Amino acid sequence: MKFTTTINGLAREIDCDPGANLYDVLRALGLKGVKQGCDNEGTCGACTVLIDGVPTLACITPAPKVAGHEVTTIEALGTPDKPHLIQREFVDAGAIQCGFCSPGMILSTKALLDRTTSPSQAEIAEALSGNLCRCTGYVKIFDAVKNAAAAMRKEASDGK
Amino acid sequence: MIRAYHQPKRLDDALALLKQGALPVAGATGLYSTRKKIDAELCDITDLGLGKIEVTADAIHLGATVTLTQLIDADLPGEEGAFLKLVARHITARPMRNAITIGGNIAHAVFWADMPVALLALDASIEIARAGEAAVTVAIADALKGSAPWGNGALITKVVIPLKKGRRFGYERLSRTKNDYAYVTAAASMSVCDGKASDVRVVFGALQPRAFRATDIESDLEGKAISAESIAQAVQKAATDLPIAPNFRASVDYRRDVATALARRAIAQAAGQE
Ligand SMILES: Cc1cc2nc3c(=O)[nH]c(=O)nc-3n(C[C@H](O)[C@H](O)[C@H](O)COP(=O)(O)OP(=O)(O)OC[C@H]3O[C@@H](n4cnc5c(N)ncnc54)[C@H](O)[C@@H]3O)c2cc1C
Ligand code: FES
Ligand code: FES
């Protein structure tokens, strides 16, 4: 079946199997930052993308659901030379080890910090509740989110 | 194989597709985790305008495609509203809750599902629509008994939660991790006036394929003075006869012990004793 959607700011015409999930469609477009960490059953969060800014698991999302909506994957955030502020804080805090969970963690963080740049510990825990990390033990990830929030607050006040 | 994916904008069009054999898909969290096994056309029901929450003087009306995140973020009245939010927060994690719908949580009918347990304690009812027929309203207790009134062309369109003054609730759930399915769930609700309990509901989930009310415990407590002792006695009396289906998660004996402990706690919460 065919439909149009916006992926990372670009209008795209998708032609896929009617039963395709969003994960397969994004990977086929070369967006390899979308990861599969479980049996495509919604338990790991490695496949997290944003649909209209809302964290969504690509593996259990029917691809046609994004018709007319905006999808954001980690590829839209920064580049190795010019990382996004959240990516920079994750690196600086040591919140990335193998990196497999990082795209999902960072997108869940982005959705949170787009809502509030002063999240409480409980709000961070809720925002990241769907993202498993098998390396870091989460402490550094929480540090990175708090540092990114502080950096955003600073940017906002400097900009004033 | 998923043979087609329909995205109608009108309820009538969706019902016509369901009548022809298409399967409804809402959040897709249940359907797509076993997507390879599906052999049908799918009809997405999330563009039908069924995602609204309406509050009237005596009820909360939830459209079938209201998500758990919508529930958690909504301003809902009464102890009923607080209870719904609490239960929604128990179910998996944020990105899943962004997708899981109230209708899907009922219709998916897995034994661990949390919302059916809560809805039994709330005396909720569901509205069912079918092509060419007037919508019918069914008490959730009846809907969970015997063959389900949804499926085979029938769609859950609405969930109605009555608001009753003075009702309080309790909810207890044991799982391996916070995000995991429950081994056992227990819910309770009642009104307490002059120390006496009325409208007692005691509900178990994950013991049988469908959540059910423990009417023995309910009638033991109904109209009586409520205390830690009376609660413990009523639960203990019913314990050996609690119907518990074996499953792969834990032994029947273990789940019986857990069920009695959780029921005591849930009832105590509803009675305001905790
Ligand atoms: C890893 C994981 C853990 C989970 N843990 C829990 C848990 O602990 N507790 C819990 O309660 N839930 C849990 N869930 C959610 C639950 O298992 C289902 O996935 C969810 O409730 C389905 O809702 P949905 O809106 O995504 O429905 P869908 O997946 O879209 O549909 C599920 C079924 O319901 C039917 N259906 C959907 N909407 C309607 C309707 N309005 N009328 C008639 N039929 C309909 C569909 O045809 C399908 O058969 C978990 C899910 C996953 C993947
Ligand atoms: S791949 Fe694990 S949640 Fe999607
Ligand atoms: S850094 Fe390896 S899984 Fe998180």
- Tell me the pLDDT tens digit for each residue of B86-125: 999 999 999 999 999 999 999 998 899 999 999 999 999 9
- Which residues on chain B are in Cβ contact (under 8 Å) with A59? 32
Q: Are B48 and B80 in contact (CB under 8 A)?
A: no
Tell me which of A22, A24, A47 to substitute to probe ligand 2's pocket, judged by most ligand atoms within 8 Å of the beta carbon: A47
CB-side neighbour CA atoms (13 Å) of A127: 27
- What's residue B267's pLDDT? 98
Alpha carbon distance B150, B139 (integer Å): 13
Q: Which helix (H) or strand (E) holds A87?
A: helix A85-93
Q: Are A107 and A49 in contact (CB under 8 A)?
A: yes
- What's residue B208's pLDDT? 96
Residues of chain A with a CB closer than 8 angstroms to some CB in chain B:
1, 17-19, 21, 40-43, 45, 48, 54-57, 59-62, 64-65, 67, 108, 126-130
SS (H, E, C) B65-89: CCEHHHHHHCCCCHHHHHHHHHHHH
Pairing assessment for the beta strands B40-44 and B2-6 based on DSSP bridges: parallel
Multiple choice CATH, A85-155, 3.30.43.10, 3.10.20.90, 3.40.190.10, 1.10.150.120: 1.10.150.120
pLDDT band, very low/low/confident/very high, at A120 (cuts 50, 70, 90): very high
Paired tokens of B60: 């909360």
pLDDT band, very low/low/confident/very high, at B36 (cuts 50, 70, 90): confident
Q: Are A41 and A26 in contact (CB under 8 A)?
A: no
Q: In what order do the strands lie in the sheet with B2-6?
A: B2-6, B40-44, B23-25
Mean pLDDT, range B168-175, rounded to an integer: 97
Is the pLDDT reported for residue B236 higher than 90? Answer: yes
Q: Are B81 and B106 in contact (CB under 8 A)?
A: no
Multiple choice CATH, B1-165, 3.30.465.10, 1.10.1740.10, 3.40.50.300, 3.40.718.10: 3.30.465.10
Mean pLDDT, range B41-70, rounded to an integer: 98
Alpha carbon distance B168, B274 (integer Å): 12
Paired tokens of B139: 């008490």
Is the pLDDT reported for residue B217 higher than 90? Answer: yes
pLDDT band, very low/low/confident/very high, at A27 (cuts 50, 70, 90): very high
Dump pLDDT digits (tens) for B142-169: 999 988 999 999 999 999 999 999 999 9
- Give residue for tokens 């009695």: B260
Q: Which of B123, B99, B100 is nearest to B110 (CA)?
A: B100
Bridge partners for B154 per DSSP: B151
Dump pLDDT digits (tens) for A58-74: 999 999 999 999 999 99
* Amino acid identity for residue B205 in this structure: G
Helix (H, G, I), strand (E, B) or coil at B223: coil
pLDDT band, very low/low/confident/very high, at B271 (cuts 50, 70, 90): very high
Phi, psi of A74 (to 5 degrees): -60, -25
CATH number corresponding to B169-270: 3.30.390.50
Is the pLDDT reported for residue A160 higher than 70? Answer: no
Question: Model-level pTM greater than 0.95?
Answer: yes
Q: Chain-wide mean pLDDT for chain B? A: 96
Interchain contact, A56 vs B99, CB within 8 Å:
yes
Domain coordinates in residue numbering, chain B: 1-165, 169-270
B65 has a chain A CB within 8 A of its CB: no
Domain coordinates in residue numbering, chain A: 2-76, 85-155
Fold of A2-76: Ubiquitin-like (UB roll) (3.10.20)
- What's residue A49's pLDDT? 98
- Which residues on chain A are in Cβ contact (under 8 Å) with B28? 60-62, 65
B95 has a chain A CB within 8 A of its CB: yes
* Amino acid identity for residue A128 in this structure: L
ipTM, interface predicted TM-score of the complex: 0.94
Is residue A56 packed enough to be buried (19+ CB in 10 Å), middle (13-18) or exposed (0-12)? buried
Paired tokens of B92: 């998996």
Is the pLDDT reported for residue A45 higher than 70? Answer: yes
Phi, psi of B196 (to 5 degrees): -105, 140
**How close A159 comes to chain B (CA, Å)?**
31
Alpha carbon distance A156, A158 (integer Å): 6
Number of other CB atoms surrounding residue B1 within 10 Å = 11
- What's residue A66's pLDDT? 98
Phi, psi of B108 (to 5 degrees): -65, -30
Is the pLDDT reported for residue A159 higher than 90? Answer: no
- What's residue B211's pLDDT? 97
Q: Which of A114, A113, A102 is nearest to A140 (CA)?
A: A102
- Which residues on chain A are in Cβ contact (under 8 Å) with B94? 55, 108, 126-130
**How close B161 comes to chain A (CA, Å)?**
26
Is residue B61 packed enough to be buried (19+ CB in 10 Å), middle (13-18) or exposed (0-12)? middle
Paired tokens of B70: 């919508």
Angle at alpha carbon of residue B52, lines to A120 and B131, rounded to 5°: 145
pLDDT band, very low/low/confident/very high, at B235 (cuts 50, 70, 90): very high
Bridge partners for A13 per DSSP: A4
